[in-house]
């Protein structure tokens, strides 16, 4: 494994301050070099690095930047710091400990995109992190790193931190734009894509925290060297958040292409004594689950896709063999039901319906036929929604029903046996005993 | 009788059962996940006038609140972008996004209160019912619940249930699964919270003291061995 | 912004090659190939597609995911499938999802039978549901407003209603609350959704979630018929469909006409139909007998009226109100001129006829649709939402969708100010000076003097001129015709402004007047003007021709003895109420056609003929932009009401003059023959959508327009009064100030009560607070009002409402008033 890049100095005391960050090479020659490169060359460099978006979709950062139209119009850069995907907490650590790395990446990305206005949209829950990033912005502005004519070049950039107020859908890029415009965070139809018509109708480049924070390092190392890390189509390092039933939960910077077993067991210490991995989400709660049999998959975009799932936000959630898959499915579905924006029909109704069915499974009022209906409802959501939040519930829940059907069926049997009357048909005596008829 | 909203009366609903009035005299109905039970049964009150943009001449706004909102408005090419920060500012002063608070924001931003209430009701952190001043969010999403968050929530509720000064809520993943089970106390993340620490934490919440100083996230070192300072 | 030219492309849908304009949305393009793609949330009238309901998913070759047909612009060579298994499965699943919580109470739902959800479930649904959980149940229906009931169980979240409120009416009162499956439609803190256009959401709702309170449970779709006509309640002349059951109007729906109303109605137009069927409608002829109006037979009424008119002869004056049709106006002027030899008639409230003629030139004329596509729109001396409501929506649309520059120049703060790039205020009474200042600014002349006379900021006038000059070639000036009453200099100055802006002959640019009454333009063209016959022809015969002002004076002085009122109560409708009361007092005979006994008629009329309501009438109207539109009878006349053309012909006959009219269409034919630029029009040619006379007969209409005489410059414009410690009086007439609104049970709650709008500083100086009860007085008269503080109100002026029965602004003559606490 190569040395850490983003996390190389992460626990350095005071790294969040401009001084220490500068001492560690921040805002150094690489920034000036980037700002003096022709825009096109910089975009080419980013493309050549093979850097793929770290926010979930895995789209090439350089290619996205190249979609930004030329010309003298108001263009925007937006950093997606909404980090709300369950299981994901790496941006938090990065922003809290090394906010200037993000800012430096934003300056370079904004320059590459031709944007003179930029915003960081941070989730409202990250109150402490917001304070830290605000402080870093103020320092950078005072030092002339953000503002008019940065480092004497003719590139100027405005930057503001914008705090959200608690809505997962505002991590979806167009929902984020609506929210940043002061509206309800409903996703927009695409096309038009943000690069054509984004914030305030202007061309907008949206990237994720980790994607942006990587950029200064690519400029410093050069695309070639960066692209040499990782595997084909998945270059570079990746921050992975590992949580759930592991001994050492936390963020780890790994080289893409490392086997998953090494991450879950090697880095995070695996599940507790005597326990085994039952199922795991490889890329946040939106990714279809894998089982203990899939631990040897290589942790990179293509291999995970081939395994029928996705790298997503790089958040691994591990559940050991004590876990009931019904509980995990219900938690997952409830989350998406709660976070569905409600704009489009399949997601709004489908997540709600799925939760109701899973609740019936839990209360012993379901039959195995309900599993077929649930699977079909998930099918009916996938690919039919406005954004992919609906799919993000249907894929993992669908995968759990498929991979653990036997367990679901057994659960249904047991729950029915424990509650033979169902809640709606309890005999009068039973209700009296519960005091329900008082 | 309460409305027959999904699960409000549905006995089987388990995790979806609503929290009945927790504080004496308080009538906030919430799903157990913290969301408000919506006002589907609410009719318009025909004795009220329609709610247009409040006229500055008849809607007094505290000077500091006005200044703060105007500062936010100046940051964006479209002043409506300041809606969330402005609502948060008003919430800080009023304790919740009360109709009065929303009217004040509307008067400064020259928007209708309807616009603002639509925004506020979309976001979990903006409160449209009176709540306790201290916000305690307990993450009960997948990772945290695998690590005992549901028990943590139940215990905290037992401890704090009667305290009208506390707004205890289930919350979706707070982005701190590395310290599961965890809670955010007025934005301060603490965890992993051991069962033995819950009473202490509750006391700190009640008294306004710093929550579990030894367990605060900001002081935590990275788990990554490669991240140690060189 | 000029209107784009469509270019046609070819695409394939379900194996058929279809031609369609490029970039039309697939669902619309599909119709051209007779393929229907079901939609719920798509409604292009509201704005850009939102793709929310997902009902319109289709398969497009080359795109892996199904796409929403409502938001996909059609391109050349596109290959689309709507009948594949994948599409069918998607459609069935969306219907299944939508019906999960929909109550299926169709048998007791107003929408049943005309419900898109029913139709689409039938046509595209799978016919079964696997949802066995209990559906949501809520109280229903709930009040959303006194006019609209909301049934949230039935809502399918297409949020058309909310988008209408936010993106069309821009009132932002109706919003979505909460999110996800808990989302619901509502208002802020239980306030009702009351706004000038709220009723449109009833028609937009594709299910029965929003229903009309007045129409609720009155009929089922199979009991009713639709009858197309035109609303005559304001100059916008929106096209409507009356829902008729058993000869009663039960509902009014929009009948979309892109050139007129864009498919919207205001709430007055939508709900005031109730006044057709109220008890206090006049349905029999009335004759004053022993001081009281008593019902009499038609014979008696006609004889008495004819006798009285014969006695008065040339000493008869006549006023036609705005709701008068072209034909009625035309016959009225024949009666006056031919049978009575009188030249004392007016329909324009005293505006100078020569000015009306000069400004009616077809090459200067802008259309309603031009408001949407213009580069710059100037709203001058009118409040569209009150004076011609539907046009307010058009202007907003232009600003929002086509980024038109909007400039507003009015004395009173305008509801369009927030959309305007520039708003300029002038003082009430400063109209003429303001127009002069603007003309001067456009020609680089001296403007500071006139601007100050107008009570306007000279820099504001300069900025306005700059915006008009540099905002783009297509400029439309929407002006209140009442401006012409401010002095003889106004019309020449307006023409000068038009000249400076180069709008003459330019498609997409021009002037558009908002007349004081519904058919103001048509009545002028039909010859109901003093000294001007049909087609603006000067009337020979010498002698004085009295207009509105002079008729009042002539009656008061005893020089005129009879007054003929066609749909007009001057006490209610015209300024200076006291003067009219004196004039009517003195008149020996007052003959009126009316539906209601408004104050002036109740006190002074000698004979009252029961007038037709607009649902009972046939004839034509001329829209302010020159479009002739057809009124068609939807229901039988109430009681003994008779058509006005018949009454006028009968009276003429009794006066020894045969007008040669035996049917309504004969009156139309006479009119078309008499007005040179109406030549070539016929009722058939006008058809359901109307015809602009300037376009009729390939421009023959425009060519036949008689050249107006050069207007004299008009002298110094009068300056606004200096307040000197008092306050200037400005007046306005709200959309709700109408006898129909007072009488429609559903709208009663809206009819305005007097309030005096003023600036906070003025109020503070006078020790007044918001909500105080005050008396506003001048010259010994006073009206009661409640203080309404408005931050944007200009200091030094107050505004009172006109056109209301009690405490109306026309009780005060101005120009200055005092305010005392009552
Ligand atoms: C439902 C949903 C939630 C998302 N949440 C986040 C998020 O919290 N943070 C994030 O960076 N991207 C999130 N994304 C991905 C963004 O839409 C977008 O792809 C990303 O910000 C692009 O940045 P990148 O190209 O640098 O990855 C989410 C996407 C969806 C569909
Ligand atoms: S998929 Fe869900 S979150 Fe996305 S637009 Fe549809 S309802 Fe909203
Ligand atoms: S009509 Fe296309 S999504 Fe609703």
CATH of the domain at B94: 1.10.10.1590
Q: Is the pLDDT of residue A1 over 90?
A: no
Specify the number of domains making up chain C.
5
Mean pLDDT of C713-727: 91
Contact at 8 Å (CB) between A339 and A284? no
Residue A310, domain member (yes or no):
yes
Instruction: Count CB-CB contacts under 10 A for residue A73.
Output: 10
Residue B202, domain member (yes or no):
yes
Q: What is the pLDDT of residue B16?
A: 40
β-pair type (C248-254, C239-245): antiparallel
In this structure, the answer to whether residues B113 and B139 fall within a common structural domain is no
DSSP codes of every residue in A423-435: GGG--HHHHHHTT
Q: What is the pLDDT of residue B5?
A: 33
In this structure, the answer to whether residues A43 and A179 fall within a common structural domain is yes
State the residue range of the domain holding C56. 8-83
State the residue range of the domain holding A415. 325-433
In this structure, the answer to whether residues C786 and C642 fall within a common structural domain is no
How far is the first Cα of chain A from the last one, in angstroms, to the nearest whole number? 67
* Shortest-distance atom of ligand 2 to CA A342: 7
CA A348 – CA C53 distance, rounded (Å): 10
Q: Which residue of C has its CA nearest to A357?
A: C133
Residues of B in contact with C182 (CB under 8 A): 35-38
The mean-pLDDT minimum among A249-258, B17-26, C121-130, C603-612 falls in: B17-26
Contact at 8 Å (CB) between C213 and C200? no
CATH number at residue C574: 3.40.50.740
* CA angle, B105 then B107 then B110, to 5°: 100
Give the pLDDT band (50/70/90) at residue C444.
confident
Q: Which residue of B has its CA nearest to A97?
A: B218
CATH number at residue B183: 3.40.30.10
In this structure, the answer to whether residues B199 and B161 fall within a common structural domain is yes
Of all residues in chain C, the percent with pLDDT exceeding 90 is 94
Each residue of C639-697: pLDDT tens digit?
999 999 999 999 999 999 999 999 999 999 999 999 999 998 999 999 999 999 999 88
Q: What is the pLDDT of residue A434?
A: 56
In this structure, the answer to whether residues B83 and B158 fall within a common structural domain is no
Of all residues in chain C, the percent with pLDDT exceeding 70 is 100
Smallest CA-to-CA distance from C26 within C90, C92, C79, C91 is with: C79
Q: Which residue of A has its CA nearest to C102?
A: A349
In this structure, the answer to whether residues A136 and A162 fall within a common structural domain is yes
In this structure, the answer to whether residues B90 and B157 fall within a common structural domain is no
In this structure, the answer to whether residues C374 and C467 fall within a common structural domain is yes
Residue A8, domain member (yes or no):
no
Residue B38, domain member (yes or no):
no
In this structure, the answer to whether residues C198 and C262 fall within a common structural domain is yes
Contact at 8 Å (CB) between C177 and B39? yes
This model of the complex carries an ipTM of 0.95
Which residue, B130, B158, B193, sits at the end of a domain? Answer: B130
* Shortest-distance atom of ligand 1 to CA A84: 8
Residue C55, domain member (yes or no):
yes
Which residue, C455, C484, C514, sits at the end of a domain? Answer: C514
In this structure, the answer to whether residues C614 and C694 fall within a common structural domain is yes
Q: Is the pLDDT of residue B230 over 50?
A: no
The pair of three-digit structure tokens given for residue C676, joined into one six-digit string: 């040179």
Which residue, C274, C309, C325, sits at the end of a domain? Answer: C274
Q: Is the pLDDT of residue C360 over 90?
A: yes
Residues of C in contact with A175 (CB under 8 A): none
Mean pLDDT of A361-377: 94
Give the pLDDT band (50/70/90) at residue B226.
confident
In this structure, the answer to whether residues B115 and B59 fall within a common structural domain is yes
Residue B176, domain member (yes or no):
yes
In this structure, the answer to whether residues A82 and A209 fall within a common structural domain is yes
Each residue of C160-214: pLDDT tens digit?
999 999 999 999 999 999 999 999 999 999 999 999 999 999 999 999 999 999 9
Q: What is the pLDDT of residue C784?
A: 97
In this structure, the answer to whether residues C563 and C684 fall within a common structural domain is yes
CA dist C168 → A8, A122, C46, C164, C239 (Å): 54, 32, 6, 5, 18
In this structure, the answer to whether residues A258 and A383 fall within a common structural domain is no
Which residues in C have their CB inside 8 Å of a CB on B?
134, 136-139, 142-146, 150, 152, 166, 171-179, 181-184, 186-195, 418, 760, 770, 789-792
CA C717 – CA C711 distance, rounded (Å): 15
Residue B5, domain member (yes or no):
no
CB proximity list for B220: less than 8 A, separation 6 or greater: B178, B179
Which residue, A320, A341, A368, sits at the end of a domain? Answer: A320
Specify the number of domains making up chain A.
3
CA C512 – CA C489 distance, rounded (Å): 18
In this structure, the answer to whether residues B59 and B84 fall within a common structural domain is yes
Each residue of C761-798: pLDDT tens digit?
999 999 999 999 999 998 889 999 999 999 999 999 99
Q: Is the pLDDT of residue A198 over 80?
A: yes
State the residue range of the domain holding B77. 48-130
In this structure, the answer to whether residues C158 and C56 fall within a common structural domain is no
Determine contact: A74 vs chain B, CB below 8 A. yes
In this structure, the answer to whether residues B54 and B123 fall within a common structural domain is yes
Q: Is the pLDDT of residue A335 over 90?
A: yes
Specify the number of domains making up chain B.
2
In this structure, the answer to whether residues A39 and A183 fall within a common structural domain is yes
Which residue, B77, B108, B130, sits at the end of a domain? Answer: B130
Residue A1, domain member (yes or no):
no
Residue A337, domain member (yes or no):
yes
pLDDT, averaged across chain B: 86
Residue C398, domain member (yes or no):
yes
Better-predicted residue by pLDDT, C719 or B3: C719
Residue C155, domain member (yes or no):
yes
Instruction: Count CB-CB contacts under 10 A for residue C728.
Output: 23
In this structure, the answer to whether residues B147 and B184 fall within a common structural domain is yes
HSE of A330 in the Cβ direction (CA atoms, 13 Å)? 22
pLDDT, averaged across chain C: 96
In this structure, the answer to whether residues B119 and B189 fall within a common structural domain is no
CA A211 – CA A221 distance, rounded (Å): 15
In this structure, the answer to whether residues A224 and A236 fall within a common structural domain is no
In this structure, the answer to whether residues A415 and A426 fall within a common structural domain is yes
In this structure, the answer to whether residues C428 and C370 fall within a common structural domain is yes
CA C689 – CA C695 distance, rounded (Å): 13
In this structure, the answer to whether residues B117 and B154 fall within a common structural domain is no
CATH number at residue C173: 3.30.70.20
Each residue of A37-49: pLDDT tens digit?
999 999 999 999 9
In this structure, the answer to whether residues C202 and C71 fall within a common structural domain is no
Which residue, A194, A228, A262, sits at the end of a domain? Answer: A228
Q: Given C182, C193, C789, which is nearest B44 (Cβ)?
A: C193
Of all residues in chain A, the percent with pLDDT exceeding 90 is 93
Strand, coil or helix: C820: strand
Q: Is the pLDDT of residue B2 over 50?
A: no
CATH number at residue A31: 3.40.50.11540
In this structure, the answer to whether residues A68 and A193 fall within a common structural domain is yes
In this structure, the answer to whether residues C367 and C495 fall within a common structural domain is yes
In this structure, the answer to whether residues C542 and C661 fall within a common structural domain is yes
Q: Is the pLDDT of residue A423 over 60?
A: no
How far is the first Cα of chain C from the last one, in angstroms, to the nearest whole number? 52
Which residue, C514, C537, C563, sits at the end of a domain? Answer: C514
In this structure, the answer to whether residues A266 and A165 fall within a common structural domain is no
Mean pLDDT of A19-37: 97
In this structure, the answer to whether residues C156 and C299 fall within a common structural domain is no
CATH number at residue A287: 3.10.20.600
CATH number at residue C784: 2.40.40.20
- In a mutational test of the pocket of ligand 1, which residue from A62, A68, A120, A172 has the highest number of ligand atoms less than 8 Å from its CB? A172
Each residue of A134-144: pLDDT tens digit?
999 999 999 99
A-C contacts at Cβ under 8 angstroms? 89
Which residue, B104, B130, B156, sits at the end of a domain? Answer: B130
In this structure, the answer to whether residues C339 and C361 fall within a common structural domain is no
In this structure, the answer to whether residues A117 and A206 fall within a common structural domain is yes
Q: Is the pLDDT of residue B15 over 80?
A: no
In this structure, the answer to whether residues A288 and A240 fall within a common structural domain is yes
Residues of B in contact with C790 (CB under 8 A): 55, 57
In this structure, the answer to whether residues A268 and A299 fall within a common structural domain is yes
Q: Is the pLDDT of residue B153 over 50?
A: yes
Residue C765, domain member (yes or no):
yes
- pTM for the full model? 0.94
Residues of B in contact with C178 (CB under 8 A): 35-36, 38, 121-122
The pair of three-digit structure tokens given for residue C56, joined into one six-digit string: 């319109």
Mean pLDDT of C64-78: 97
* Shortest-distance atom of ligand 3 to CA C53: 4
CB distance B141–A93 less than 8 Å? Answer: no
Residue C88, domain member (yes or no):
no
Q: What is the pLDDT of residue C287?
A: 98
Contact at 8 Å (CB) between C287 and C675? no
Alpha helices per DSSP H over C213-365: 267-271, 298-312, 326-334, 353-359
Of all residues in chain A, the percent with pLDDT exceeding 70 is 95
Q: Is the pLDDT of residue B120 over 90?
A: yes
Give the pLDDT band (50/70/90) at residue A393.
very high
Q: Is the pLDDT of residue B38 over 90?
A: no
Residue C94, domain member (yes or no):
no
């Amino acid at each position: 494994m190569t040395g850490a890049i983003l996390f190389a100095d992460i626990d350095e005391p005071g790294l969040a301050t401009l001084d220490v960050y500068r001492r560690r090479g921040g805002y150094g020659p690489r920034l000036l070099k980037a700002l003096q490169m022709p825009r096109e060359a910089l975009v080419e460099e980013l493309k050549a690095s093979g850097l793929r978006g770290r926010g979930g979709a895995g789209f090439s950062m350089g290619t996205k930047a190249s979609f930004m139209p030329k010309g003298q119009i108001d263009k925007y850069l937006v950093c997606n710091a909404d980090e709300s995907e369950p299981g994901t907490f790496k941006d938090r650590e990065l922003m809290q400990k090394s906010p200037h790395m993000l800012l430096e990446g934003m300056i370079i990305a904004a320059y590459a995109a031709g944007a003179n206005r930029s915003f960081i949209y941070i989730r409202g829950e990250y109150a402490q992190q917001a304070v830290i990033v605000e402080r870093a912005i103020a320092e950078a502005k005072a030092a002339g790193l953000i503002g008019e004519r940065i480092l004497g070049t003719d590139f100027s950039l405005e930057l503001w931190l914008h705090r959200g107020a608690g809505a997962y859908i505002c991590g979806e890029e167009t929902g984020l734009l609506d929210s940043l415009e002061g509206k309800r965070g409903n996703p927009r139809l695409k096309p038009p894509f943000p690069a054509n018509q984004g914030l305030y109708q202007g061309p907008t480049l949206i990237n994720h925290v980790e994607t942006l924070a990587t950029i200064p390092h690519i400029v410093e190392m050069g695309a070639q060297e960066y692209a040499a890390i990782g595997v084909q189509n998945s270059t570079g390092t990746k921050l992975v958040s590992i949580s759930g039933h592991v001994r050492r939960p936390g963020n780890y910077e790994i080289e893409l292409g490392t086997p998953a077993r090494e991450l879950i067991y090697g880095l995070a210490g695996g599940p507790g004594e005597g326990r085994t991995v039952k199922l795991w989400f490889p890329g946040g709660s939106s990714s279809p689950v894998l089982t203990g049999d899939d631990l040897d998959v290589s942790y990179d975009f293509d291999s995970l896709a081939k395994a029928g799932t996705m790298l997503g936000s790089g958040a691994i959630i591990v559940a050991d063999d004590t876990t009931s898959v019904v509980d995990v499915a219900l938690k997952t579905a409830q989350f998406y039901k709660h976070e569905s924006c409600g704009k489009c029909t399949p997601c709004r109704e489908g997540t709600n319906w799925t939760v109701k069915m899973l609740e019936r499974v839990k209360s012993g009022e379901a039959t195995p036929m309900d599993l077929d209906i649930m699977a079909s409802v998930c099918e009916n959501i996938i690919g039919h929604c406005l954004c992919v939040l609906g799919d993000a519930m249907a894929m993992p829940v669908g995968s759990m029903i498929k991979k653990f059907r036997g367990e679901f069926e057994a659960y249904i049997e047991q729950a029915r046996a424990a509650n033979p009357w169902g809640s709606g048909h309890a005999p009068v005596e039973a209700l009296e005993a519960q005091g329900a008829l008082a | 009788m309460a409305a027959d909203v999904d699960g409000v009366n549905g006995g089987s609903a388990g995790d979806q059962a609503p929290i009945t009035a927790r504080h004496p005299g308080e009538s906030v109905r919430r799903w157990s996940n913290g969301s408000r039970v919506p006002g589907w049964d609410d009719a318009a009150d025909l004795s009220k006038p329609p709610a247009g943009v409040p006229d500055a001449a008849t809607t007094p706004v505290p000077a500091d609140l006005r200044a703060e909102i105007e500062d936010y408005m100046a940051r964006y090419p479209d002043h409506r972008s300041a809606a969330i920060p402005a609502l948060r500012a008003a919430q800080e002063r009023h304790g919740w996004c009360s109709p009065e608070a929303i009217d004040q924001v509307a008067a400064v931003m020259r928007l209708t209160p309807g616009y603002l209430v639509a925004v506020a009701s979309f976001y979990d952190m903006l409160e449209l019912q009176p709540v306790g001043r201290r916000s305690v969010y307990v993450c009960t999403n997948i990772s945290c619940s695998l690590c005992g968050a549901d028990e943590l929530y139940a215990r905290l509720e037992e401890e704090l249930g009667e305290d009208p000064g506390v707004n205890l809520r289930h919350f979706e993943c707070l982005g701190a699964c590395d310290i599961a089970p965890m809670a955010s106390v007025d934005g301060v993340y603490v965890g992993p919270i051991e069962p033995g620490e819950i009473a202490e934490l509750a006391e700190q919440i009640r008294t306004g003291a710093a929550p579990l100083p030894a367990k605060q996230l900001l002081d935590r070192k990275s788990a990554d061995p490669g991240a140690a300072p060189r | 912004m000029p209107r784009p030219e469509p270019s046609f492309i070819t695409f394939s849908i379900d194996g058929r090659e279809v031609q369609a304009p490029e970039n039309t949305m697939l669902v619309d393009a599909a119709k051209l190939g007779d393929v229907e793609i079901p939609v719920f949330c798509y409604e292009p009238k509201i704005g850009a597609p939102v793709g929310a309901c997902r009902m319109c998913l289709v398969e497009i070759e080359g795109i892996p995911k199904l796409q929403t047909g409502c938001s996909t612009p059609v391109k050349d060579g596109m290959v689309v499938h709507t009948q594949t298994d994948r599409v069918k499965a998607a459609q069935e699943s969306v219907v299944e999802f939508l019906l999960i919580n929909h109550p299926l109470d169709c048998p007791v739902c107003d929408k049943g039978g005309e419900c898109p959800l029913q139709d689409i479930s039938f046509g595209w649904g799978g016919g079964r549901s696997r949802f066995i959980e209990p559906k949501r149940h809520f109280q229903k229906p709930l009040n959303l407003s006194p006019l609209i009931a909301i049934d949230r169980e039935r809502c399918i979240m297409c949020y058309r209603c909310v988008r209408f409120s936010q993106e069309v009416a821009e009132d932002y009162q109706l919003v979505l609350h909460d999110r996800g499956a808990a989302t619901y439609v509502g208002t802020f803190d239980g306030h009702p959704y009351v706004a000038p256009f709220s009723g449109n959401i009833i028609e937009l709702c594709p299910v029965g979630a929003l229903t009309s309170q007045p129409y609720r449970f009155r009929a089922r779709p199979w009991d009713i018929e639709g009858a197309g006509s035109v609303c005559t309640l304001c100059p916008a002349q929106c096209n409507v469909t009356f829902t008729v059951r058993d000869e009663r109007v039960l509902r009014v729906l929009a009948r979309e006409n892109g050139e007129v109303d864009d498919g919207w109605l205001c709430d007055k137009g939508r709900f005031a139909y109730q006044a057709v069927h109220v008890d206090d409608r006049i349905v029999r002829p009335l004759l004053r007998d022993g001081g009281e109006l008593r019902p009499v037979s038609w014979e008696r009424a006609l004889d008495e009226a004819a006798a009285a008119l014969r006695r008065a002869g040339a000493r008869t004056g006549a006023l036609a109100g705005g709701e008068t049709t072209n034909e009625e106006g035309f016959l009225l002027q024949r009666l006056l001129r031919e049978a009575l030899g009188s030249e004392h008639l007016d329909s324009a409230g005293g505006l100078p006829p020569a000015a009306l003629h000069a400004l009616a030139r077809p090459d200067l004329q802008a259309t309603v649709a031009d408001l949407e596509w213009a580069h710059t729109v100037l709203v001058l001396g009118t409040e569209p939402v009150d004076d011609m409501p539907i046009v307010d929506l058009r202007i907003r649309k232009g600003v929002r969708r086509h980024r038109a520059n909007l400039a507003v120049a009015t004395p009173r703060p305008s509801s369009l100010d927030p959309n305007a790039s520039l708003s300029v205020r002038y003082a009430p009474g400063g109209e003429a000076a303001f127009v002069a200042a603007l003309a001067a600014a456009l020609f680089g002349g001296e403007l500071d003097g006139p601007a100050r006379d107008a009570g306007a900021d000279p820099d504001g006038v300069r900025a306005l001129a700059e915006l008009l000059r540099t905002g783009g070639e297509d400029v439309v000036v929407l002006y209140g015709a009442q401006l012409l009453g401010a002095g003889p200099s106004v019309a020449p100055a307006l023409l000068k402004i038009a000249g400076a802006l180069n709008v003459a002959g330019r498609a997409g640019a021009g002037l558009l007047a908002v007349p004081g009454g519904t058919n103001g333009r048509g009545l002028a063209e039909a010859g109901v003007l003093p000294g001007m016959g049909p087609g603006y022809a000067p009337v020979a015969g010498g002698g004085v021709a009295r207009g509105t002002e002079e008729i009042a004076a002539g009656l008061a002085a005893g020089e005129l003895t009879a007054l003929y009122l066609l749909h007009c109560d001057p006490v209610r409708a015209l300024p200076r109420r006291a003067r009219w009361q004196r004039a009517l007092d003195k008149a020996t005979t007052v003959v009126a056609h009316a539906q209601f006994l408004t104050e002036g008629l109740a006190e002074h009329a000698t004979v009252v003929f029961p007038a037709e309501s607009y649902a009972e009438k046939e004839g034509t109207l001329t829209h302010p932009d020159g479009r002739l539109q057809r009124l068609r009878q939807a229901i039988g006349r109430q009681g003994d009401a008779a058509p006005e053309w018949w009454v006028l012909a009968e009276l003429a006959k009794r006066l020894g003059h045969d007008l040669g009219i035996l049917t309504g269409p004969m009156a139309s034919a006479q009119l078309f023959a008499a007005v040179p630029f109406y030549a070539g029009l016929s009722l058939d040619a006008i058809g359901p959508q109307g015809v602009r006379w300037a376009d009729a007969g390939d421009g023959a209409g425009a060519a036949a327009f008689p050249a107006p005489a050069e207007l004299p410059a008009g002298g110094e414009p009068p300056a606004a009064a200096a307040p000197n410690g008092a306050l200037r009086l400005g007046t306005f007439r709200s959309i709700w100030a109408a006898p129909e609104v007072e009488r429609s049970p559903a709208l009663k709650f809206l009819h305005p009560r007097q309030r005096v709008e003023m600036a906070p500083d003025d109020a503070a100086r006078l020790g007044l607070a918001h909500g105080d009860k005050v008396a506003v007085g001048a010259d010994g008269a006073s009206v009661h009002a409640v203080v309404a503080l408005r931050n944007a109100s200009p200091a030094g002026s107050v505004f009172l409402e006109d056109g209301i029965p009690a405490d109306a602004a026309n009780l005060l003559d101005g120009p200055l008033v005092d305010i005392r606490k009552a």
